[in-house]
Amino acid sequence: MQGIVSYGSYVPKYRIKPEEIARVWGEDPDNIKNGIFILSKSVPAPDEDVATISVEAARRALLRGKIDPKDIGAIYIGSESHPYAVKPTATIVASAIGADFRMFAADYEFACKAGTAAMQNVLAMVDSGMIKYGMAIGADTSQGAPGDALEYSASAGGTAFIIGKENVIAEIKHTLSVTSDTPDFWRREGQPYPTHGERFTGEPAYFRHTLSAARGIMEKAGTEPKDYKYVILHQPNGKFPTRAAKTLGFTEEQYKTGLLTPYIGNTYSAAMMNGLSAVLDIASPGDKILAVSFGSGAGSDGFHIEVTDNYEKMDVKSAPTMAEILSNTEFLDYAVYAKFKKKIVMGEELE
Amino acid sequence: MGELSRIWRESDHRYRLIGHVCRNCNTVYFPPRDICPTCHRDSVGKMEEIQLSGKGSIFSYTVVHDAPPAFRRQRPYIIALIKLDEGPTLTAQIVDTKPENVSSGKRVHAVFRKIREDGSGGILQYGYKFVIDEPPKA
């Protein structure tokens, strides 16, 4: 049996509301709020990036699972906002948690599904016996150009999963991916902000891949929506996952626990993984979970997960739960947000 | 390059709060020391690495208003002397709070943050900062 042995999440404390962004750019706040169903989004402090968020999530996962960092045989980190273009975030995280010198490490990139691609990779390495435990992290401090639609949703956060065969709290029974060349969203090398392909973002990108992966997993597992206690879908906004879940035949009861975007925005590589973290905070043995990520470009990773009896042995509260993380917030106005996000250019000599 | 090698050399204690304990007198030191200043030659070969918990209390603090250029986005920022539970006192920034919330004696814990950026193309320096413990929810 292989699956999730432990998990940990981190979301920066700061938030901004869409109406504050809309005020600056002369948009109708109600239109924006209702259009994307985001009530606030997280903002990283000036001294936070994907490395710091990943380290905090990784430490929380080690703490909750009472796992010796020397037993972590691989660290893979998925993000589209790694602090370096060349120098892996995984090297910084490995050093900061005190991992062994001899281990596998790399950074992944596949828009918002890079973290779940890391989960699949680590799962395969555990399954093959290459490593005892592996750590897969999804973390982002995502970018939206000032005044662009993405600025209302692009936020920051991260989740780390430790995957192994011993003391598995949530077995990953099935996983699959779907992939196609779709021009829905991209960022060219050296560009500070991404570009989106407008009408491509919905049906041909998010919905086609997310729905296909969800249906594919249920076909593989021989399950129907009613068999699942929880469903978590990638959540670029509050609307898309709600519509996709309903299209698949899921109810609000099943998707509401893992739907965090209305409160923290789109945490990109961490979005589905944060939702899964929130679900694992309150799960019970026997619960079945369907989790599907989506990454632009485009593809989706689907997971059929079952919570095991070992879950009862874990002290969930030994690391901050998602509810605790989300209760500690401070709201910013647009000016401070712009300063924190370096949208105000101060010149090289002042940085 | 001197700066780069210092960052690299100090990463264990700056990333993970690795200190030294003198096994002659059991005093804990941070940053690590090769020789115990109390036991001198008696400590030779008896200085061992120790993982510090990152938990402690604010001993004293100051609020920096006249910030150097690299810290202007964080102005005003808080620098504190933190007495770690294991004994040593260190100097670090207190983040994610406002000066009015800081007072001596408050419990804090270490977090991993970016300390400095060497321009837009240079090395990123990471290390410890501290945040105030959240009071337990009623």
Instruction: State the total domains in chain A.
Output: 1
Please report residues of B whose CB lies closer than 8 A to that of A13.
Answer: 96
The CATH number linked to A62 is 3.40.47.10
- For chains A and B, what is the number of CB pairs under 8 angstroms? 68
Model pLDDT for residues B54-64, shown as the tens digit of each residue: 999 999 999 99
pLDDT, tens digit (0-9, with 9 covering 90-100), for A225-238: 999 999 999 999 99
Which residues of chain B neighbour A96 with C-beta distances below 8 Å?
15-16, 112, 126
Q: Which of A56, A327, A328 sits opposite B112 (nearest CB)?
A: A56
Q: DSSP letter string over A171-237?
A: EEEEEEEEE----SEE--TT-SS-EE-GGGIIIIIIIHHHHHHHHHHHHHHT--GGG-SEEEE--SS
A224 is catalytic: no
Query: How far apart are the CA of B30 and the nearest CA of chain A, in angstroms?
Result: 17
Per the annotation, the verdict on A80 as an active-site residue is yes
Domain of residue A213, residue span = 3-350
Mean pLDDT (whole number) for B42-70: 95
Q: Which two tokens stand for residue A120?
A: 């699949």
Strands A14-16 and A41-43, how do they pair?
antiparallel
| Check: complex ipTM more than 0.90 | yes
Query: Measured between alpha carbons, how far is A111 from A78 in angstroms, rounded to an integer?
Result: 8
Residue B136 has pLDDT above 70, yes or no: no
Q: Which of residues 96-125 of A touch B (CB under 8 A)?
A: 96-98
Range of weakest confidence among A5-19, B90-104, B113-127: B113-127
Residue B122: other Cβ atoms inside 10 A: 11
> What does the pLDDT read at residue B137?
56
Residue A349 at interface with chain B, using a CB cutoff of 8 Å: yes
**Is the pLDDT assigned to residue B1 strictly greater than 70?**
no
pLDDT given at position A149? 86
Give chain B's length: 138
B41 min Cα distance to partner chain A (Å) = 30
CATH of domain B54-133: 2.40.50
More confident: A201 or B107: B107
Decide if pLDDT at B6 tops 60.
yes
Output the pLDDT for position A277: 98
Per-residue CA distances from A336 to A201, A216, A262, B115 (Å): 30, 45, 21, 20
Q: What is the pLDDT along chain A (351 residues), one digit of tens a residue?
A: 999 999 999 999 999 999 999 999 999 988 888 888 999 999 999 999 999 999 999 999 999 999 999 999 999 999 999 999 999 999 999 999 999 999 999 999 999 999 999 999 999 999 999 999 999 999 999 988 898 889 999 999 999 999 999 999 999 999 999 999 999 889 998 888 888 887 778 889 999 999 999 999 999 999 999 999 999 999 999 999 999 999 999 999 999 999 999 999 999 999 999 999 999 999 999 999 999 999 999 999 999 999 999 999 999 999 999 999 999 999 999 999 999 998 888 776 555
Dihedral over Cα of A29, A34, A39, A42: its sign: negative
Q: Do A48 and B113 touch (CB under 8 A)?
A: yes
Task: Find, among A185, A250, A188, A251, the residue nearest to A224 by Cα.
Answer: A250
Catalytic residue list contains A234: yes
Residue A245, classed as helix, strand or coil, is helix
> Residue A340 is nearest to which of B73, B112, B129, comparing CB atoms?
B73
Q: Which of A151, A234, A304, A306 is catalytic?
A: A234
- Residue A199: the pLDDT is 75
pTM score, whole prediction = 0.97
Q: Any bridge partners for residue A112, and if so which?
A: A110
Arithmetic mean of pLDDT, B108-123: 93
Closest approach of chain B CAs to the CA of A53, in angstroms? 8
* Residue-level pLDDT at A30: 87
Rounded Cα gap, residues A294 and A275, in angstroms? 13
Query: What is the model's pLDDT at position A351?
Result: 55
What pLDDT sits at residue A349?
56
Q: What is the mean pLDDT of chain B?
A: 93
pLDDT of residue A350: 55
What are the chain A neighbours of B96 within 8 Å (beta carbons)?
A: 13, 45, 330
Q: Answer positive or negative: Cα dihedral of A198, A202, A204, A205.
A: positive
Domain boundaries, chain B: 17-51, 54-133
